[in-house]
């Protein structure tokens, strides 16, 4: 198999490239050159946001069985790439997001849920609309039968450049009382980037098309299991999880998801972010590895780079300030 990865040097794109190389696929990357490409891949340099950013791709003598695209900016960039490649590639896999569904997303909702609006020709507007526009652009150029839309939920794992799991790992490593947002048994959904990558490659092999929610089954793990796994691999001698009720967190104006990454309180927000149906993807072979494996591998990667995770410039920094945490815990 021949893969063209648009991007491929960070997080999800890197996971796709590494998974394809492990299968002995021929891999070509189009990337901006800001990060080193995985060994074994052919690199083409180009910035999709700049004039002439696809020139290296247009000049390259080759074609591919599969294109994978994780773009989350202007849908017009997906349109331009897909238009260039429609006659040179067999299938197009666009890594989208469950954010394309109209909010709120009722618990148990599947791929038939109402969608936000999107314009395949638009400049960047907002994340949800941009992802939906990217979906429409890919389908418009490759056709519905040659396009698979991987609507990912929360993505964790090694090389994460958003900062969610790295923040928790570094927080428990710092030690002392840790504000652990409850309830402890609150169910979580996420997908390890490596499991997402394997599903995307498998989907191409069997010719899947259309949208699929790519996230773990509902209640794959819990907030307690996630944070206890963090403590098990990274905790200091005096690390202590102090489980805190959502009402106390709200009283101290602590933001779910942003200041307390991954966590959303029970109710509408939690239903929308952690209770999405994945029955279609599971039926096609989607597998979600245990949370302890994701946590341990992410910690090993963090330690290998000195503990400071990379940060995407287009995403806000997450995490709770120490003084705000201490106040909420009454310290």
CB 118 within 8 A of CB 153: no
pLDDT (0 to 100) of residue 203: 97
Q: pLDDT digits over 251-277, tens only?
A: 999 999 999 999 999 999 999 999 999
Q: pLDDT digits over 188-218, tens only?
A: 999 999 999 999 999 999 999 999 999 999 9
pLDDT (0 to 100) of residue 285: 97
Across 145-159, average pLDDT:
98
| Mean pLDDT of the residues in the chain | 97
pLDDT (0 to 100) of residue 313: 86
Domain 2-152 annotated CATH 3.40.50.2000: no
Exposed (0-12), middle (13-18) or buried (19+): which is 302, by Cβ within 10 Å?
buried
Can you give the residue ranges of every domain in the chain?
A: 2-152, 160-188+218-276+289-328
For residue 55, the Cα-to-chain-centroid distance in whole angstroms is 28
Please write down the long-range contacts of 106-112, taking CB distance under 8 Å and 24 or more positions apart: 106/271, 107/271, 107/275, 108/218, 108/275, 108/276, 108/277, 109/276, 109/277, 110/213, 110/276, 110/277, 110/279, 110/280, 111/151, 111/210, 111/211, 111/212, 111/213, 111/280
Across 100-110, average pLDDT:
97
pLDDT (0 to 100) of residue 312: 87
Can you name the residues that pair with 66 across neighbouring β-strands?
3, 91
Across 121-148, average pLDDT:
97
pLDDT (0 to 100) of residue 220: 98
Q: pLDDT band at residue 240, thresholds of 50, 70 and 90?
A: very high
Could you tell me the two tokens for 60?
């390259």
Across 55-66, average pLDDT:
96
Neighbouring C-alpha atoms within 13 Å toward the C-beta of 152 = 24
pLDDT (0 to 100) of residue 315: 86
CB 289 within 8 A of CB 274: no
CB 99 within 8 A of CB 131: yes
Across 90-113, average pLDDT:
97
CB 317 within 8 A of CB 261: no
pTM > 0.85: yes or no: yes
Q: pLDDT digits over 170-184, tens only?
A: 999 999 999 999 999
pLDDT at 187 over 90: yes
For residue 183, the Cα-to-chain-centroid distance in whole angstroms is 25
Q: pLDDT band at residue 306, thresholds of 50, 70 and 90?
A: very high
Helix axes 164-174, 291-304, angle to 10 degrees: 80
Could you tell me the two tokens for 132?
């939906």
pLDDT (0 to 100) of residue 314: 84
């Amino acid at each position: 198999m021949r893969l063209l990865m648009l991007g491929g040097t960070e997080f999800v794109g890197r996971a796709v490239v590494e998974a394809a190389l492990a299968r002995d696929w021929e891999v070509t990357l189009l990337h901006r050159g800001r990060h080193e490409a995985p060994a074994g891949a052919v690199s083409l340099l180009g910035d999709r946001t700049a004039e002439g950013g696809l020139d290296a791709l247009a000049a390259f003598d080759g074609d591919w069985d599969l294109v994978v695209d994780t773009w989350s900016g202007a849908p017009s960039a997906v349109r331009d790439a897909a238009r260039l490649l429609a006659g040179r590639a067999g299938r197009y896999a666009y890594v989208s997001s469950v954010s394309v569904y109209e909010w709120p997303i009722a618990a148990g909702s599947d791929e038939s849920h109402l969608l936000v609006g999107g314009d395949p020709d638009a400049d960047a507007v907002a994340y949800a609309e941009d992802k939906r526009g990217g979906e429409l652009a890919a389908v418009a150029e490759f056709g519905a039968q040659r396009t698979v839309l991987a609507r990912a939920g929360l993505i964790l794992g090694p090389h994460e450049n958003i900062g969610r799991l790295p923040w928790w790992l570094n927080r428990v490593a710092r030690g002392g009382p840790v504000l652990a947002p409850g309830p402890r048994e609150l169910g979580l959904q996420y997908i390890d980037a490596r499991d997402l990558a394997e599903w995307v490659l498998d989907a191409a092999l069997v010719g899947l098309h259309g949208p699929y929610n790519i996230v773990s089954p509902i209640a794959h793990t819990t907030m307690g299991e996630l944070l206890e796994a963090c403590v098990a691999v990274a905790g200091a001698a005096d690390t202590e999880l102090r489980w805190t009720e959502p009402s106390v967190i709200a009283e101290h104006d602590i933001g779910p998801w942003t200041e307390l990454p991954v966590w959303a309180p029970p109710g509408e927000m939690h239903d929308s972010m952690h209770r999405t149906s994945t029955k279609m993807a599971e039926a096609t072979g989607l597998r979600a590895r245990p949370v302890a494996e994701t946590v341990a591998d992410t910690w090993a990667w963090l330690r290998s780079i000195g503990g400071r995770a990379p940060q995407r410039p287009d995403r806000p920094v997450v995490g709770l300030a120490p003084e705000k945490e201490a106040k909420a815990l009454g310290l």
